[in-house]
Amino acid sequence: MSLRHIIDNKTRIRLLRRLIKKNKFIRVIEAHNGLSALLANDTKIKLETGREKEFDAIWESSLTDSASKGFPDIEVVSFDSRLHTINEILEVTSKPLIVDGDTGGDFNQFEYAVKRLERAGVSMVIIEDKTFPKRNSLEAGTKQDLEKIEVFAEKIKRGQKIKIHKDFMIVARMESLIVGHGIKEALRRARICLKAGADGIMIHSKRTEPTEILEFAKEYYRKFPKKLLKDKVLIAVPTTYNTITDSELNKNGFHIVIHANHLLRSSFIAIENTAKKILLNDRSFEVEGELATIRKIFHKVGFMTVKEKDKKAADKLKSKIKVIIPAAGITDLTKKLKSSISLIDINGKKVLQRQIEVLAKVGIDNIIVVTGFEKDKFGLENLRYYVNKDYGTTGVLATLFKAEREMNGPFVTLFSDVLFNQSIINNLVVQSAQAEADIVLVVDESYKNHRHSKYKKLDLVRTNKTNAMEPIRKLTDSLDEQVVYIGKNLTDKMVHYEFIGIAYFSKKGATVLKEVYHSLTKKRARLSSFTDVVQEIVDRGYQVKILKTYKGWMEIHNEDDIKLAGKFYRNS
Ligand code: SPV
Ligand code: MG
């Protein structure tokens, strides 16, 4: 659906009359569904004079609406179904809509039709002077029965009486020429309809040359008094007599010209051609050049706008987010290499630099690093630094809280030893914000597939999902599950996931984290790891959600990890 084309019903109903008054001529093209309506509404050409030319209104045809559903044009497609198509067209367009009302049914049915069409935002309904159920007018030799003109005129009267919008128009369509009754008879019937209050006359013909309808128009203006024709419109449908131009018809007194079935007919040929070519070549490659690209369709139906808006919303979120990296600590590896983890070289770039690069790709550049060990060697620019002087005796949590001042809005904390891909951070920030989650940990579900080395006990997670042995393939959505236990001392059977050292806190989540942290430190509880405080948050009844990843990250804990990471980044 296109949000570009929003117009209120009253304005749209009125628009047709206004355009007729202003331009004295209305060029109309058929549409039979949302997409063809979008094309009918939007298609423009630039003339040599530089002026743009486009259609003024849309025709909702009984022939093409029925045919696009695979039915013949015999009033077998119900009014409700027609109204569905009408609404489909109205929803995505801003131009006036003229509806082909067929015979209009009996008086009562027509009254309901008028009400419903007005309510939908239709500007004009045209009904034809045949008996229900009519047959399409264009096929020679088809049974065609005309309605007694007094009965038909009464139907017009009833419609005019029931309508509430003065600019909603009811036009009488004369089928006398279709059935071969001649111009005189057509004029006689038209006069009765105009007297009954019809807003205009559509004169139909299936001749291949326009002489008949031009003759009708001439007589119509010659014979009918000016007063009777005041504000009335004359309409032509040049399907069979298509050599005459719209401008010529206009010069001959026609106010509206309807190209009544052409978009459906062109798609018919294109569809059949494509189907045949795919069969012929046993693949679609040969026909590809003749097709609209998927992106062209995406543009037309508004999908690219949605993409842009999503990106803008996500960029806005990401521009607000801070990332706090606690990078103070010492490990066996840092002792051995005499370097903080953040400063270890991975194929020409420091770990921290690689983290920053991924964050930048996601659109995050507000990065805070809490240093300690080797603090003077950091020196990377465009970061803000805090220091944990007690890095030798305190853990990651104390380090993180050196940057407590920064926890005044949503933030991500990212352990200094984690390398990760873009989608993990992107999904964490965007999905957490969209789900309005307050605390979200990124966990890996490939945990069970690894052989884990003994040197480090992992941060393991058990959630509220019911079956710990649930196969990985049976996916539950991320952010559905909540952490129940987190820590290093979970038995294998209890474990669902591994926490990867990346977590999101909303503004409220940050407040909870600070509150719980301070209440624990006040009690002098033994509290050193990040997971301890998360467990306490869970125990106090707050929801800690998880975002699942399946690989896409690694930790730098030993020299083998450095080698492995080096291999991974050998081209970047
Ligand atoms: C239609 O488009 O459905 C019409 C015009 O009624 S015609 O098919 O020429 O009768
Ligand atoms: Mg029709």
For the chain, give every domain's residue range.
7-260, 263-301, 308-568
Residue 526 confidence (pLDDT): 65
321 Cα to the center of ligand 2, angstroms: 59
Which ligand is nearest the CA of 136, by number? Answer: 1
Q: What is the pLDDT of residues 466-477, one digit of tens each?
A: 654 555 555 555
- Give the model's pLDDT for residue 381: 83
Q: How far is the CA of 198 from the centre of ligand 2 (A)?
A: 18
Ligand 1 atom nearest the C-alpha of 173 is 6
Using CA atoms, how far apart are residues 229 and 200, in angstroms rounded to an integer?
Answer: 8
Q: What are the pLDDT digits (tens) for 386-409?
A: 999 998 888 899 999 999 999 999
pLDDT at 2 (0 to 100): 66
Phi, psi of 214 (to 5 degrees): -65, -40
Alpha carbon of 29 to ligand 1 centroid (Å): 12
Q: For 395-540, where are the E strands, in sequence order?
A: 411-414, 418-420, 439-444, 460-463, 483-487, 497-505
pLDDT tens string 521-535: 887 666 668 999 999
The set of residues, in sequence order, having a beta carbon less than 8 Å from that of 105 and lying 6+ positions away, is 79, 113, 132
125 vs 107: CA distance, rounded Å: 15
Question: Which atom of ligand 1 sits closest to the CA of residue 66?
Answer: 3
Whether 552 shows a pLDDT value over 70: the answer reads yes
Residue nearest to atom 8 of ligand 1 (CA): 63
Q: Which residue has the higher pLDDT, 27 or 396?
A: 27
CA of 138 to the centre of ligand 1 (A): 7
Quick one: which ligand is closest to 28's CA?
1
Q: Which atom of ligand 1 is nearest to the CA of 204?
A: 9
Rounded CA gap, 468 and 495, in Å?
A: 7
**Mean of the pLDDT values across residues 119-130?**
98
Q: Taking Cα atoms as reference points, which of 328, 348, 486, 521 lies closest to residue 415?
A: 328
pLDDT tops 60 at residue 132: yes
Cis peptide leading into residue 133 (ω within 30°): yes
Give yes or no for residue 455 having a pLDDT over 80: no
Residue from 204, 259, 263 whose mutation best tests the ligand 1 pocket (most atoms within 8 A of CB)? 204
Instruction: Give distance in angstroms: CA of 195 to centre of ligand 1.
Output: 25
- The length of the chain is 572
> Looking at domain 7-260, which CATH architecture does it have?
Alpha-Beta Barrel (3.20)
> So what's the pLDDT on residue 529?
87
Which atom of ligand 1 is the closest one to the Cα of 178?
10
Question: Residues 173, 126: contact at Cβ < 8 Å?
Answer: yes
Give me the mean pLDDT over the 68-77 stretch. Answer: 97
Specify the pTM.
Answer: 0.77
DSSP for 176-232, written as a single string: TTTTT-HHHHHHHHHHHHHHTT-SEEEE----SSTHHHHHHHHHHHHHS-HHHHTT-
- What are the tens digits of pLDDT across the range 329-364? 888 888 888 888 999 999 999 999 999 999 999 999
Ligand nearest to the CA of 61: 1
> What's the whole-number mean pLDDT along residues 1-28?
91
Q: Which of 56, 73, 102, 532 is catalytic?
A: 73
The predicted structure's pLDDT at residue 260? 98
Query: Is 372's pLDDT higher than 70?
Result: yes
Answer yes or no: are the C-beta atoms of 17 and 169 closer than 8 Å.
yes
Best mutation site among 30, 69, 73, 134 for ligand 1 pocket (most ligand atoms within 8 Å of CB): 73
Residue 142 exposure: Cα atoms within 13 Å on the Cβ side: 16
- More confident position, 396 or 157: 157
In terms of phi and psi (left: phi > 0; alpha: psi -120 to 50; beta: otherwise), the region of 178 is alpha
Active-site residue flag, 106:
no
What pLDDT was estimated at residue 342? 93
Residue type (1 letter), 403: A
- Residue 14 — φ and ψ, nearest 5°? -70, -30
Q: Give the pLDDT confidence score for residue 451 in this predicted structure.
A: 58
Residue 178's pLDDT is 97
Mean pLDDT of 211-221: 98
Contact (Cβ atoms closer than 8 angstroms) between residue 359 and residue 323:
yes
What are the distances in angstroms from CA 99 to CA 52, 64, 169, 410, 532?
Answer: 26, 12, 10, 54, 69
For residue 454, pLDDT beyond 60: no
Q: Which atom of ligand 1 is nearest to the CA of 73?
A: 3
Which stretch of 26-40, 180-194, 478-492 has the lowest confidence by average pLDDT? 478-492
pLDDT at 463: 92
What is the CB < 6 Å shell around ligand 1?
61-63, 73, 100, 136-138, 237, 239, 260-261
State the Rg of the chain over Cα: 36
The residue type found at 461 is V
Bridge pairing between strands 26-31 and 57-60: parallel
C-alpha distance from residue 169 to each of 95, 122, 133, 247, 558 (Å): 15, 9, 23, 23, 81
Question: What backbone torsions phi and psi does residue 171 show, to the nearest 5 degrees?
Answer: -115, 140
**What band does 445 get if pLDDT is binned at 50, 70 and 90?**
confident
Confidence band of 146 (pLDDT split at 50, 70, 90): very high
pLDDT confidence bin for 85, thresholds 50/70/90: very high
- Three-state secondary structure of 464-475: CCCCCCCCCCCC
Ligand 1 atom at shortest distance from the alpha carbon of 137:
10
pLDDT surpasses 80 at 200? yes
Q: Which of 28, 64, 85, 239 to mutate to test the pocket of ligand 1 (most atoms within 8 A of CB)?
A: 239
Q: Where are the beta strands (DSSP E) in 32-183?
A: 44-46, 52-54, 57-60, 97-100, 124-128, 169-174
Given its phi and psi angles, is residue 426 left (phi above 0), alpha (psi -120 to 50 degrees) or beta? alpha
Q: Ligand 1 centre and the CA of 182: distance in Å?
A: 19
pLDDT tens digits along 409-428? 999 999 999 999 999 999 99
Let me know: does 86 contact 12? Beta carbons within 8 Å.
no
Ligand nearest to the CA of 178: 1
pLDDT of amino acid 469: 55
CATH topology of domain 308-568: Spore Coat Polysaccharide Biosynthesis Protein SpsA; Chain A (3.90.550)
Token look-up 């004369």 returns 174
Tell me the per-residue pLDDT of 284-312, one tens digit each, with 9 for 90 and over: 999 999 999 999 999 999 999 999 999 99
Relative orientation angle of helices 9-23 and 107-120, to the nearest 10 degrees: 90
- What is the pLDDT averaged over residues 484-497? 85
Give me the mean pLDDT over the 277-288 stretch.
Answer: 98
Q: Residue 172 — pLDDT band, cuts 50, 70, 90? A: very high
- Per-residue pLDDT band at 495 (split at 50, 70, 90): confident
59, 60, 82, 100, best to mutate for ligand 1 pocket (most atoms within 8 Å of CB): 100
Dist. CA 184 → ligand 1 center (Å): 22
What is the whole-number distance in angstroms between the Cα of residue 390 and the centre of ligand 2? 85
Query: Which DSSP symbol is given to 375?
Result: G
- Rounded to the nearest angstrom, the distance between the alpha carbon of 137 and the centre of ligand 1 is 7
Mean pLDDT of the residues in the chain: 93
At 181 the pLDDT is 97
Residue 363 — left, alpha, or beta (φ > 0 → left; ψ -120 to 50 → alpha)?
Answer: left
Distance of CA 121 to the CA centre of its chain: 24
Which residue out of 30, 137, 256 has the highest number of ligand 1 atoms within 8 Å of its CB and is therefore the one to mutate? 137
What average pLDDT does this structure show over 190-202?
98
pLDDT on residue 452: 56
**Helix, strand and coil percent figures for the chain, each rounded to 5:** 45, 20, 40
